[in-house]
Amino acid sequence: MLGSGPPEGRPPPTVSAPKGSHIRELGVAGLAIIDAVRVEFGLGLTVLTGETGAGKSLLVDALALARGGRGDSGAVRAGSDRLRVDLQISAQGRDQIAVREVYAEGRSVARIDDELVTIGRLAGEIGPLIDIHGQHDQQRLGDPGRQRELLDRWSKAEGHRAEVASLIQQRSALHEELQGLGGDDARRLALLEVARTERDDLEAAEVREGEEAELKEELRRASNSERISALHDELREALNEDRSGLRARAAIAERIARELARLDGDAAALQERVSALSIEIDDLGREAAGLTPFAGGARSLGELEDRLALLLALQRRFRTDEAGLLVALTRAREEVSRLDGAEERRSEITEQLTALNARIGEAATALRTVRRAGAATLASSVNAALTALDLPSSFAIPLAPRGGTDGDPLVEGVPCAVDQGGGDDVSFMFAPNAGEPAGPIAKIASGGELSRVSLAIEEALSDASEARTLVFDEIDAGLGGRAGETLGRSLRRISAQHQVLCVTHLPQVAAQADIHLRVSKREVDGRTLTQVQRLTDEERVVELAAMLAGEGAGSGATAAANELLANARRGR
Protein backbone atom coordinates (compact mmCIF):
# COMPACT_ATOMS: atom_id res chain seq x y z
CA MET A 1 0.00 0.00 0.00
CA LEU A 2 2.87 2.35 0.86
CA GLY A 3 6.25 2.52 -0.83
CA SER A 4 9.46 2.86 1.13
CA GLY A 5 11.22 6.20 1.47
CA PRO A 6 9.75 9.71 1.13
CA PRO A 7 7.19 10.38 -1.60
CA GLU A 8 8.37 11.85 -4.85
CA GLY A 9 8.94 15.58 -4.76
CA ARG A 10 9.38 15.77 -1.02
CA PRO A 11 12.63 15.54 0.94
CA PRO A 12 12.75 13.38 4.03
CA PRO A 13 12.11 15.10 7.36
CA THR A 14 15.19 16.71 8.83
CA VAL A 15 14.84 15.01 12.20
CA SER A 16 17.75 13.23 13.84
CA ALA A 17 17.22 9.69 15.06
CA PRO A 18 16.42 9.62 18.78
CA LYS A 19 18.47 7.56 21.19
CA GLY A 20 15.34 5.90 22.57
CA SER A 21 12.80 4.16 20.39
CA HIS A 22 10.59 4.78 17.38
CA ILE A 23 8.19 2.80 15.19
CA ARG A 24 9.46 1.85 11.75
CA GLU A 25 6.51 -0.04 10.29
CA LEU A 26 3.03 -1.22 11.18
CA GLY A 27 1.16 -4.02 9.43
CA VAL A 28 -2.53 -4.66 10.12
CA ALA A 29 -4.73 -7.42 8.69
CA GLY A 30 -8.27 -8.56 9.45
CA LEU A 31 -9.16 -5.68 11.80
CA ALA A 32 -12.73 -4.42 11.24
CA ILE A 33 -12.76 -2.72 7.82
CA ILE A 34 -8.99 -3.11 7.40
CA ASP A 35 -8.32 -6.07 5.15
CA ALA A 36 -4.56 -5.58 4.92
CA VAL A 37 -2.44 -2.43 5.14
CA ARG A 38 1.22 -1.79 5.84
CA VAL A 39 2.36 1.66 6.92
CA GLU A 40 5.92 2.96 7.14
CA PHE A 41 6.59 5.66 9.72
CA GLY A 42 9.41 8.14 9.96
CA LEU A 43 10.80 10.34 12.69
CA GLY A 44 9.28 13.65 13.68
CA LEU A 45 5.56 14.39 13.45
CA THR A 46 3.26 12.14 11.42
CA VAL A 47 -0.42 13.04 11.02
CA LEU A 48 -3.27 10.83 9.87
CA THR A 49 -6.25 12.50 8.26
CA GLY A 50 -9.29 11.31 6.40
CA GLU A 51 -13.04 11.07 6.51
CA THR A 52 -14.84 9.86 9.61
CA GLY A 53 -15.07 6.07 9.70
CA ALA A 54 -12.22 5.50 7.27
CA GLY A 55 -10.14 3.65 9.86
CA LYS A 56 -7.77 6.22 11.38
CA SER A 57 -8.56 5.20 14.94
CA LEU A 58 -8.33 1.54 13.93
CA LEU A 59 -4.63 2.09 13.30
CA VAL A 60 -4.35 3.49 16.83
CA ASP A 61 -6.23 0.42 18.09
CA ALA A 62 -3.72 -1.75 16.25
CA LEU A 63 -0.84 0.02 18.02
CA ALA A 64 -2.62 -0.53 21.33
CA LEU A 65 -2.82 -4.26 20.58
CA ALA A 66 0.87 -4.37 19.62
CA ARG A 67 1.83 -2.83 22.97
CA GLY A 68 -0.15 -5.42 24.93
CA GLY A 69 -3.62 -3.86 25.07
CA ARG A 70 -6.79 -5.85 25.53
CA GLY A 71 -7.85 -7.85 22.47
CA ASP A 72 -11.50 -8.10 21.42
CA SER A 73 -12.56 -10.94 19.14
CA GLY A 74 -15.45 -8.75 17.99
CA ALA A 75 -12.91 -6.60 16.13
CA VAL A 76 -11.96 -9.47 13.80
CA ARG A 77 -13.03 -8.66 10.24
CA ALA A 78 -16.10 -10.57 9.04
CA GLY A 79 -14.98 -13.63 7.12
CA SER A 80 -11.52 -13.74 8.76
CA ASP A 81 -10.48 -16.24 11.40
CA ARG A 82 -8.17 -13.74 13.11
CA LEU A 83 -6.77 -10.24 13.13
CA ARG A 84 -3.02 -9.71 13.07
CA VAL A 85 -0.82 -6.75 13.92
CA ASP A 86 2.91 -6.67 13.06
CA LEU A 87 4.98 -3.90 14.59
CA GLN A 88 8.60 -3.19 13.70
CA ILE A 89 10.10 -0.90 16.31
CA SER A 90 13.64 0.32 16.85
CA ALA A 91 14.70 0.47 20.48
CA GLN A 92 18.20 1.55 21.53
CA GLY A 93 19.46 0.96 18.01
CA ARG A 94 18.08 -2.58 17.74
CA ASP A 95 15.03 -3.53 15.70
CA GLN A 96 12.33 -5.69 17.26
CA ILE A 97 9.29 -7.32 15.69
CA ALA A 98 6.19 -7.57 17.86
CA VAL A 99 3.25 -9.62 16.59
CA ARG A 100 -0.23 -9.81 18.09
CA GLU A 101 -3.00 -12.08 16.83
CA VAL A 102 -6.57 -12.19 18.11
CA TYR A 103 -8.70 -15.10 16.89
CA ALA A 104 -12.40 -14.96 16.20
CA GLU A 105 -13.05 -17.55 18.92
CA GLY A 106 -11.35 -15.28 21.48
CA ARG A 107 -7.83 -16.70 21.73
CA SER A 108 -4.96 -14.19 21.71
CA VAL A 109 -1.31 -14.86 20.76
CA ALA A 110 1.76 -12.61 21.11
CA ARG A 111 5.31 -12.91 19.81
CA ILE A 112 8.47 -10.85 20.07
CA ASP A 113 11.12 -11.65 17.46
CA ASP A 114 9.40 -14.98 16.67
CA GLU A 115 9.39 -16.01 20.34
CA LEU A 116 5.99 -16.84 21.80
CA VAL A 117 5.41 -14.57 24.83
CA THR A 118 2.64 -13.77 27.27
CA ILE A 119 0.53 -10.65 26.80
CA GLY A 120 2.02 -9.42 30.07
CA ARG A 121 5.55 -9.67 28.72
CA LEU A 122 4.49 -7.95 25.49
CA ALA A 123 3.04 -5.11 27.56
CA GLY A 124 6.18 -4.98 29.70
CA GLU A 125 8.63 -4.80 26.79
CA ILE A 126 6.73 -2.89 24.08
CA GLY A 127 4.25 -0.93 26.20
CA PRO A 128 6.78 1.55 27.66
CA LEU A 129 7.97 2.43 24.14
CA ILE A 130 4.56 3.69 22.96
CA ASP A 131 2.30 6.13 24.83
CA ILE A 132 -1.23 6.49 23.48
CA HIS A 133 -3.27 9.56 24.40
CA GLY A 134 -6.85 9.66 23.25
CA GLN A 135 -10.46 10.15 24.15
CA HIS A 136 -10.21 7.29 26.63
CA ASP A 137 -6.97 8.27 28.32
CA GLN A 138 -8.47 8.81 31.78
CA GLN A 139 -7.22 5.60 33.30
CA ARG A 140 -3.52 6.13 32.58
CA LEU A 141 -3.21 9.81 33.46
CA GLY A 142 -5.58 9.34 36.40
CA ASP A 143 -3.36 6.73 38.02
CA PRO A 144 -1.72 8.22 41.16
CA GLY A 145 1.45 6.25 40.54
CA ARG A 146 1.70 7.65 37.02
CA GLN A 147 1.09 11.18 38.31
CA ARG A 148 3.84 10.82 40.88
CA GLU A 149 6.19 9.44 38.22
CA LEU A 150 5.52 12.42 35.92
CA LEU A 151 6.05 14.93 38.73
CA ASP A 152 9.30 13.27 39.76
CA ARG A 153 10.55 13.27 36.18
CA TRP A 154 9.82 17.00 35.89
CA SER A 155 11.33 17.75 39.31
CA LYS A 156 14.38 15.57 38.63
CA ALA A 157 13.53 13.84 41.88
CA GLU A 158 14.34 10.30 40.74
CA GLY A 159 17.58 10.25 42.75
CA HIS A 160 15.81 11.28 45.95
CA ARG A 161 13.06 8.73 45.35
CA ALA A 162 15.61 5.99 44.67
CA GLU A 163 17.33 6.79 47.97
CA VAL A 164 14.02 6.56 49.85
CA ALA A 165 13.20 3.28 48.10
CA SER A 166 16.58 1.81 49.02
CA LEU A 167 16.17 2.75 52.68
CA ILE A 168 12.64 1.34 52.76
CA GLN A 169 13.93 -1.95 51.33
CA GLN A 170 16.58 -2.07 54.05
CA ARG A 171 13.90 -1.43 56.67
CA SER A 172 11.69 -4.18 55.25
CA ALA A 173 14.59 -6.64 55.38
CA LEU A 174 15.21 -5.82 59.04
CA HIS A 175 11.52 -6.16 59.90
CA GLU A 176 11.45 -9.52 58.14
CA GLU A 177 14.49 -10.68 60.09
CA LEU A 178 12.91 -9.45 63.32
CA GLN A 179 9.76 -11.43 62.58
CA GLY A 180 11.93 -14.46 61.90
CA LEU A 181 13.42 -14.07 65.35
CA GLY A 182 9.98 -14.50 66.85
CA GLY A 183 8.80 -10.94 67.20
CA ASP A 184 8.07 -10.14 70.84
CA ASP A 185 9.30 -12.27 73.76
CA ALA A 186 6.09 -14.24 74.17
CA ARG A 187 6.06 -15.25 70.52
CA ARG A 188 9.78 -16.03 70.51
CA LEU A 189 9.48 -18.27 73.57
CA ALA A 190 6.52 -20.08 72.04
CA LEU A 191 8.47 -20.72 68.85
CA LEU A 192 11.49 -21.82 70.87
CA GLU A 193 9.39 -24.35 72.78
CA VAL A 194 8.07 -25.80 69.51
CA ALA A 195 11.58 -26.05 68.04
CA ARG A 196 12.95 -27.74 71.18
CA THR A 197 10.13 -30.28 71.21
CA GLU A 198 10.72 -31.15 67.57
CA ARG A 199 14.46 -31.44 68.11
CA ASP A 200 14.09 -33.63 71.19
CA ASP A 201 11.55 -35.95 69.58
CA LEU A 202 13.69 -36.43 66.48
CA GLU A 203 16.87 -36.95 68.49
CA ALA A 204 15.12 -39.50 70.69
CA ALA A 205 13.95 -41.39 67.61
CA GLU A 206 17.57 -41.82 66.42
CA VAL A 207 16.48 -41.96 62.81
CA ARG A 208 18.91 -43.67 60.40
CA GLU A 209 18.75 -43.35 56.65
CA GLY A 210 17.68 -46.69 55.16
CA GLU A 211 16.22 -47.98 58.40
CA GLU A 212 12.65 -48.02 57.10
CA ALA A 213 13.56 -50.43 54.30
CA GLU A 214 15.51 -52.63 56.74
CA LEU A 215 12.55 -52.78 59.12
CA LYS A 216 10.15 -53.75 56.37
CA GLU A 217 12.50 -56.58 55.27
CA GLU A 218 12.91 -57.83 58.83
CA LEU A 219 9.15 -57.73 59.34
CA ARG A 220 8.61 -59.69 56.15
CA ARG A 221 11.07 -62.37 57.27
CA ALA A 222 9.83 -62.47 60.85
CA SER A 223 6.22 -62.89 59.78
CA ASN A 224 7.28 -65.92 57.63
CA SER A 225 9.78 -67.45 60.06
CA GLU A 226 8.05 -70.87 60.40
CA ARG A 227 7.78 -71.35 56.66
CA ILE A 228 11.41 -70.29 56.16
CA SER A 229 12.60 -72.92 58.69
CA ALA A 230 10.53 -75.65 57.04
CA LEU A 231 11.93 -74.82 53.62
CA HIS A 232 15.48 -74.95 55.01
CA ASP A 233 14.88 -78.50 56.24
CA GLU A 234 13.23 -79.65 53.02
CA LEU A 235 16.11 -78.32 50.91
CA ARG A 236 18.76 -80.04 53.06
CA GLU A 237 16.91 -83.34 52.93
CA ALA A 238 16.35 -83.16 49.18
CA LEU A 239 20.01 -82.54 48.42
CA ASN A 240 21.50 -84.94 50.98
CA GLU A 241 19.19 -87.89 50.23
CA ASP A 242 19.67 -87.80 46.50
CA ARG A 243 23.23 -86.62 46.32
CA SER A 244 24.74 -90.14 45.78
CA GLY A 245 22.32 -90.79 42.96
CA LEU A 246 23.10 -87.44 41.45
CA ARG A 247 26.84 -88.13 41.73
CA ALA A 248 26.50 -91.52 40.02
CA ARG A 249 24.53 -90.12 37.14
CA ALA A 250 26.92 -87.19 36.86
CA ALA A 251 29.91 -89.63 36.68
CA ILE A 252 28.26 -91.60 33.87
CA ALA A 253 27.51 -88.38 32.00
CA GLU A 254 31.09 -87.19 32.48
CA ARG A 255 32.56 -90.48 31.05
CA ILE A 256 30.29 -90.32 28.02
CA ALA A 257 31.06 -86.62 27.42
CA ARG A 258 34.82 -87.26 27.64
CA GLU A 259 34.59 -90.04 25.02
CA LEU A 260 32.40 -87.80 22.82
CA ALA A 261 34.84 -84.91 23.03
CA ARG A 262 37.72 -87.22 22.00
CA LEU A 263 35.82 -88.23 18.85
CA ASP A 264 34.10 -84.87 18.16
CA GLY A 265 35.99 -81.70 18.96
CA ASP A 266 32.75 -79.67 18.87
CA ALA A 267 31.65 -81.42 22.09
CA ALA A 268 34.65 -80.17 24.11
CA ALA A 269 32.72 -77.32 25.71
CA LEU A 270 29.90 -79.66 26.66
CA GLN A 271 32.39 -82.06 28.26
CA GLU A 272 33.76 -79.22 30.43
CA ARG A 273 30.29 -78.29 31.67
CA VAL A 274 29.44 -81.92 32.53
CA SER A 275 32.72 -82.24 34.45
CA ALA A 276 31.83 -79.13 36.47
CA LEU A 277 28.44 -80.62 37.33
CA SER A 278 29.87 -83.10 39.82
CA ILE A 279 31.71 -80.32 41.63
CA GLU A 280 28.54 -78.16 41.75
CA ILE A 281 26.52 -81.08 43.21
CA ASP A 282 29.00 -81.45 46.07
CA ASP A 283 28.99 -77.66 46.73
CA LEU A 284 25.17 -77.57 46.85
CA GLY A 285 25.08 -80.39 49.34
CA ARG A 286 27.62 -78.76 51.64
CA GLU A 287 25.86 -75.34 51.47
CA ALA A 288 22.45 -76.87 52.21
CA ALA A 289 23.88 -78.78 55.14
CA GLY A 290 25.28 -75.52 56.51
CA LEU A 291 21.90 -73.75 56.62
CA THR A 292 21.03 -72.92 60.23
CA PRO A 293 17.48 -73.01 61.51
CA PHE A 294 15.82 -69.52 61.15
CA ALA A 295 15.45 -67.95 64.59
CA GLY A 296 14.45 -64.37 63.56
CA GLY A 297 16.36 -61.16 64.39
CA ALA A 298 17.37 -59.63 67.70
CA ARG A 299 14.01 -57.85 67.94
CA SER A 300 10.62 -59.43 68.24
CA LEU A 301 7.87 -58.99 65.70
CA GLY A 302 6.12 -56.55 68.04
CA GLU A 303 9.27 -54.48 68.51
CA LEU A 304 9.78 -54.25 64.76
CA GLU A 305 6.18 -53.16 64.23
CA ASP A 306 6.42 -50.51 66.97
CA ARG A 307 9.64 -49.08 65.53
CA LEU A 308 8.21 -48.85 62.00
CA ALA A 309 5.03 -47.24 63.34
CA LEU A 310 7.15 -44.58 65.10
CA LEU A 311 9.06 -43.74 61.92
CA LEU A 312 5.88 -43.49 59.86
CA ALA A 313 4.20 -41.32 62.51
CA LEU A 314 7.15 -38.91 62.46
CA GLN A 315 6.98 -38.74 58.68
CA ARG A 316 3.29 -37.83 58.85
CA ARG A 317 3.93 -35.24 61.55
CA PHE A 318 6.68 -33.49 59.62
CA ARG A 319 5.06 -34.16 56.23
CA THR A 320 8.18 -35.68 54.75
CA ASP A 321 9.93 -38.99 54.08
CA GLU A 322 12.69 -40.76 56.00
CA ALA A 323 15.48 -38.62 54.51
CA GLY A 324 13.40 -35.51 55.24
CA LEU A 325 13.32 -36.41 58.95
CA LEU A 326 17.09 -35.96 59.07
CA VAL A 327 16.72 -32.55 57.38
CA ALA A 328 13.97 -31.63 59.86
CA LEU A 329 16.27 -32.52 62.75
CA THR A 330 19.01 -30.25 61.38
CA ARG A 331 16.53 -27.40 60.96
CA ALA A 332 15.11 -27.86 64.44
CA ARG A 333 18.60 -27.72 65.96
CA GLU A 334 19.39 -24.55 63.97
CA GLU A 335 16.07 -22.96 64.99
CA VAL A 336 16.74 -23.66 68.67
CA SER A 337 20.20 -22.14 68.35
CA ARG A 338 18.86 -19.09 66.51
CA LEU A 339 15.99 -18.41 68.89
CA ASP A 340 18.19 -18.99 71.94
CA GLY A 341 20.45 -16.17 70.75
CA ALA A 342 17.67 -14.01 69.33
CA GLU A 343 17.43 -11.53 72.18
CA GLU A 344 20.82 -10.03 71.46
CA ARG A 345 20.13 -9.83 67.71
CA ARG A 346 16.69 -8.32 68.35
CA SER A 347 18.31 -5.55 70.35
CA GLU A 348 20.76 -4.88 67.50
CA ILE A 349 17.95 -4.75 64.93
CA THR A 350 15.90 -2.37 67.08
CA GLU A 351 18.83 0.03 67.22
CA GLN A 352 19.36 -0.26 63.46
CA LEU A 353 15.68 0.44 62.80
CA THR A 354 15.77 3.57 64.92
CA ALA A 355 18.76 4.91 62.99
CA LEU A 356 17.24 3.84 59.68
CA ASN A 357 13.95 5.59 60.43
CA ALA A 358 15.85 8.81 61.01
CA ARG A 359 17.57 8.47 57.63
CA ILE A 360 14.25 7.66 55.94
CA GLY A 361 12.72 10.79 57.45
CA GLU A 362 15.58 12.93 56.16
CA ALA A 363 15.43 11.42 52.67
CA ALA A 364 11.63 11.72 52.48
CA THR A 365 11.84 15.34 53.63
CA ALA A 366 14.34 16.13 50.87
CA LEU A 367 12.11 14.36 48.33
CA ARG A 368 9.06 16.34 49.47
CA THR A 369 10.95 19.62 49.18
CA VAL A 370 11.97 18.87 45.60
CA ARG A 371 8.47 17.68 44.71
CA ARG A 372 6.78 20.71 46.21
CA ALA A 373 8.92 23.06 44.13
CA GLY A 374 8.43 20.94 41.02
CA ALA A 375 4.66 20.73 41.51
CA ALA A 376 4.37 24.51 41.39
CA THR A 377 6.49 24.94 38.26
CA LEU A 378 4.93 21.98 36.41
CA ALA A 379 1.42 23.23 37.16
CA SER A 380 2.40 26.68 35.90
CA SER A 381 3.87 25.25 32.70
CA VAL A 382 0.83 23.04 32.07
CA ASN A 383 -1.61 25.92 32.70
CA ALA A 384 0.26 28.13 30.23
CA ALA A 385 0.16 25.37 27.62
CA LEU A 386 -3.55 24.73 28.25
CA THR A 387 -4.33 28.41 27.80
CA ALA A 388 -2.52 28.35 24.46
CA LEU A 389 -4.57 25.27 23.54
CA ASP A 390 -7.78 27.23 24.14
CA LEU A 391 -8.39 25.48 27.44
CA PRO A 392 -8.06 28.25 30.05
CA SER A 393 -8.57 25.89 32.96
CA SER A 394 -7.02 25.49 36.36
CA PHE A 395 -4.49 22.70 36.82
CA ALA A 396 -2.81 22.10 40.16
CA ILE A 397 -0.66 19.43 41.79
CA PRO A 398 -1.21 19.40 45.54
CA LEU A 399 0.94 17.17 47.74
CA ALA A 400 -0.87 15.39 50.56
CA PRO A 401 1.56 14.31 53.29
CA ARG A 402 0.68 10.83 54.45
CA GLY A 403 -0.20 10.57 58.11
CA GLY A 404 1.69 8.22 60.36
CA THR A 405 1.79 6.91 63.90
CA ASP A 406 4.34 6.86 66.69
CA GLY A 407 7.39 4.99 65.52
CA ASP A 408 7.06 6.09 61.89
CA PRO A 409 9.80 8.28 60.35
CA LEU A 410 9.53 12.00 61.02
CA VAL A 411 9.08 14.01 57.83
CA GLU A 412 9.23 17.75 58.46
CA GLY A 413 8.89 16.87 62.15
CA VAL A 414 5.65 14.87 61.78
CA PRO A 415 5.26 11.05 61.84
CA CYS A 416 4.68 9.88 58.27
CA ALA A 417 3.85 6.53 56.65
CA VAL A 418 6.70 6.49 54.12
CA ASP A 419 6.81 3.84 51.40
CA GLN A 420 9.19 3.35 48.49
CA GLY A 421 7.60 6.29 46.67
CA GLY A 422 8.04 8.67 49.59
CA GLY A 423 5.65 10.10 52.14
CA ASP A 424 3.36 12.08 49.82
CA ASP A 425 0.24 11.35 47.83
CA VAL A 426 0.38 13.23 44.51
CA SER A 427 -2.84 14.30 42.79
CA PHE A 428 -3.41 16.02 39.46
CA MET A 429 -6.37 18.34 40.10
CA PHE A 430 -8.33 20.00 37.32
CA ALA A 431 -11.06 22.63 37.07
CA PRO A 432 -12.19 23.10 33.45
CA ASN A 433 -14.33 26.16 34.21
CA ALA A 434 -13.55 29.32 36.14
CA GLY A 435 -15.09 29.39 39.60
CA GLU A 436 -15.69 25.65 39.69
CA PRO A 437 -13.97 23.53 42.33
CA ALA A 438 -11.07 21.41 41.15
CA GLY A 439 -11.26 17.64 41.32
CA PRO A 440 -9.19 14.60 40.37
CA ILE A 441 -8.40 14.94 36.70
CA ALA A 442 -9.67 11.48 35.74
CA LYS A 443 -13.10 12.31 37.15
CA ILE A 444 -13.44 15.93 36.04
CA ALA A 445 -11.83 16.22 32.60
CA SER A 446 -13.51 15.11 29.40
CA GLY A 447 -11.64 12.92 26.95
CA GLY A 448 -10.57 15.86 24.80
CA GLU A 449 -9.56 17.94 27.82
CA LEU A 450 -7.60 15.07 29.26
CA SER A 451 -5.76 14.55 26.00
CA ARG A 452 -4.76 18.20 25.88
CA VAL A 453 -3.57 18.03 29.48
CA SER A 454 -1.49 14.99 28.48
CA LEU A 455 -0.09 16.95 25.56
CA ALA A 456 0.79 19.89 27.79
CA ILE A 457 2.55 17.59 30.24
CA GLU A 458 4.38 15.75 27.47
CA GLU A 459 5.59 19.05 26.04
CA ALA A 460 6.83 20.14 29.43
CA LEU A 461 8.62 16.83 29.94
CA SER A 462 9.84 16.29 26.39
CA ASP A 463 13.40 17.36 27.10
CA ALA A 464 13.58 15.34 30.31
CA SER A 465 12.57 11.91 29.03
CA GLU A 466 14.04 9.31 26.71
CA ALA A 467 12.70 9.28 23.19
CA ARG A 468 9.68 7.07 22.51
CA THR A 469 6.55 7.13 20.37
CA LEU A 470 3.66 9.36 21.45
CA VAL A 471 0.29 8.75 19.81
CA PHE A 472 -2.48 11.36 20.03
CA ASP A 473 -5.91 10.30 18.83
CA GLU A 474 -8.20 13.24 17.99
CA ILE A 475 -6.96 15.46 20.80
CA ASP A 476 -8.16 18.45 18.76
CA ALA A 477 -11.82 17.69 19.53
CA GLY A 478 -13.64 20.97 20.11
CA LEU A 479 -10.74 23.20 19.08
CA GLY A 480 -10.92 26.02 16.55
CA GLY A 481 -8.38 27.16 14.00
CA ARG A 482 -6.25 29.37 16.24
CA ALA A 483 -6.02 26.82 19.04
CA GLY A 484 -5.43 24.12 16.43
CA GLU A 485 -2.42 25.98 15.10
CA THR A 486 -1.06 26.25 18.64
CA LEU A 487 -1.73 22.55 19.15
CA GLY A 488 0.13 21.72 15.94
CA ARG A 489 3.14 23.77 16.98
CA SER A 490 3.13 22.03 20.35
CA LEU A 491 3.13 18.63 18.68
CA ARG A 492 5.89 19.84 16.41
CA ARG A 493 8.04 20.87 19.37
CA ILE A 494 7.53 17.52 21.08
CA SER A 495 8.47 15.71 17.86
CA ALA A 496 11.96 17.16 18.06
CA GLN A 497 12.57 14.73 20.93
CA HIS A 498 9.97 12.01 20.35
CA GLN A 499 8.31 10.34 17.40
CA VAL A 500 4.76 11.73 17.36
CA LEU A 501 1.74 10.22 15.58
CA CYS A 502 -1.46 12.25 15.57
CA VAL A 503 -4.96 11.56 14.27
CA THR A 504 -6.45 14.96 13.49
CA HIS A 505 -9.37 16.70 11.80
CA LEU A 506 -7.75 20.14 11.88
CA PRO A 507 -5.78 21.35 8.85
CA GLN A 508 -3.83 23.67 11.15
CA VAL A 509 -2.46 20.60 12.95
CA ALA A 510 -1.91 18.59 9.78
CA ALA A 511 0.12 21.41 8.21
CA GLN A 512 2.80 21.01 10.89
CA ALA A 513 3.57 17.41 9.96
CA ASP A 514 6.78 15.96 8.58
CA ILE A 515 4.78 13.06 7.15
CA HIS A 516 1.13 13.23 6.14
CA LEU A 517 -0.87 10.00 5.80
CA ARG A 518 -4.38 10.01 4.35
CA VAL A 519 -6.68 7.21 5.45
CA SER A 520 -9.60 6.47 3.13
CA LYS A 521 -12.06 3.70 2.47
CA ARG A 522 -13.49 2.27 -0.72
CA GLU A 523 -15.77 -0.57 -1.71
CA VAL A 524 -14.36 -3.62 -3.50
CA ASP A 525 -16.61 -6.55 -4.42
CA GLY A 526 -19.21 -5.34 -2.00
CA ARG A 527 -16.74 -5.05 0.94
CA THR A 528 -15.43 -1.84 2.49
CA LEU A 529 -11.64 -1.61 2.62
CA THR A 530 -9.32 0.85 4.35
CA GLN A 531 -6.40 2.35 2.43
CA VAL A 532 -3.47 4.41 3.70
CA GLN A 533 -1.58 6.76 1.39
CA ARG A 534 1.50 8.83 2.10
CA LEU A 535 0.96 12.23 0.49
CA THR A 536 3.31 14.22 -1.69
CA ASP A 537 3.57 18.00 -1.28
CA GLU A 538 0.97 18.54 -4.02
CA GLU A 539 -1.37 15.97 -2.50
CA ARG A 540 -1.03 17.61 0.89
CA VAL A 541 -2.27 20.90 -0.52
CA VAL A 542 -5.34 19.15 -1.94
CA GLU A 543 -5.99 17.33 1.35
CA LEU A 544 -5.62 20.47 3.48
CA ALA A 545 -7.89 22.42 1.13
CA ALA A 546 -10.52 19.69 1.45
CA MET A 547 -10.17 19.80 5.23
CA LEU A 548 -10.68 23.58 5.12
CA ALA A 549 -13.60 23.77 2.70
CA GLY A 550 -14.74 20.25 1.89
CA GLU A 551 -14.36 18.16 -1.25
CA GLY A 552 -14.09 20.16 -4.46
CA ALA A 553 -12.59 23.14 -2.67
CA GLY A 554 -11.85 26.14 -4.85
CA SER A 555 -8.84 28.32 -5.36
CA GLY A 556 -9.43 30.18 -2.11
CA ALA A 557 -9.13 27.00 -0.07
CA THR A 558 -6.07 25.96 -2.05
CA ALA A 559 -4.42 29.31 -1.34
CA ALA A 560 -5.27 28.96 2.35
CA ALA A 561 -3.79 25.46 2.38
CA ASN A 562 -0.57 26.73 0.82
CA GLU A 563 -0.47 29.50 3.40
CA LEU A 564 -0.85 27.00 6.25
CA LEU A 565 2.06 24.96 4.91
CA ALA A 566 4.19 28.05 4.39
CA ASN A 567 3.51 29.26 7.93
CA ALA A 568 4.38 25.83 9.28
CA ARG A 569 7.69 25.82 7.42
CA ARG A 570 8.55 29.31 8.62
CA GLY A 571 7.89 28.26 12.21
CA ARG A 572 10.38 25.40 12.14
Instruction: Give the torsion through C-alpha atoms of 4, 8, 11, 12, to 10 deg.
Output: -10
For residue 273, being part of any structural domain is answered with yes
Task: Classify residue 78 by its DSSP letter.
Answer: T
For residue 195, being part of any structural domain is answered with yes
- Angle, to 10 degrees, between the axis of helix 158-180 and the axis of helix 144-155? 130
Mean pLDDT by 10-residue block, N- to C-terminus, for the chain (572 residues)? 40 50 95 94 95 91 94 92 96 91 94 95 92 69 87 93 96 86 71 90 91 85 73 73 66 85 84 83 76 63 88 93 93 85 79 94 96 94 83 87 91 94 93 82 78 81 77 80 84 91 93 95 89 95 90 81 90 68
Q: In Å, how far are 59, 179, 334, 491, 500 from 488, measured between CA atoms?
A: 20, 58, 69, 5, 11
Give Cα 84 distance to the centre of its chain.
23
Position 13 scores a pLDDT of 45
For 475, other C-beta atoms within 10 Å of its C-beta total 29
Q: Can you tell me whether residue 321 is helix, strand or coil?
A: coil
Task: Classify residue 184 by its DSSP letter.
Answer: S
For residue 227, being part of any structural domain is answered with yes
Backbone angles phi, psi at 401, to 5 degrees: -60, 135
Position 3 scores a pLDDT of 38
Give Cα 107 distance to the centre of its chain.
20
For residue 63, being part of any structural domain is answered with no
For 517, other C-beta atoms within 10 Å of its C-beta total 24
Position 224 scores a pLDDT of 72
Task: Classify residue 533 by its DSSP letter.
Answer: E
Residue 355: give the domain boundaries. Answer: 162-362
Q: How far apart are CA 234 and CA 230, in angstroms?
A: 6
Q: How far apart are CA 24 and CA 501, in angstroms?
A: 12
For residue 351, being part of any structural domain is answered with yes
Position 449 scores a pLDDT of 77
For residue 400, being part of any structural domain is answered with no
Pairing between β-strand 499-503 and β-strand 469-473 as defined by DSSP bridges: parallel
Task: Classify residue 48 by its DSSP letter.
Answer: E
Q: How far apart are CA 13 and CA 275, in angstroms?
A: 103
Burial (0-12, 13-18, 19+ Cβ within 10 Å), 370: buried
For residue 488, being part of any structural domain is answered with no
For residue 83, being part of any structural domain is answered with no
Domain count along the chain: 1
Q: Write out the H or E segment, with its range, that includes residue 161.
A: helix 158-180
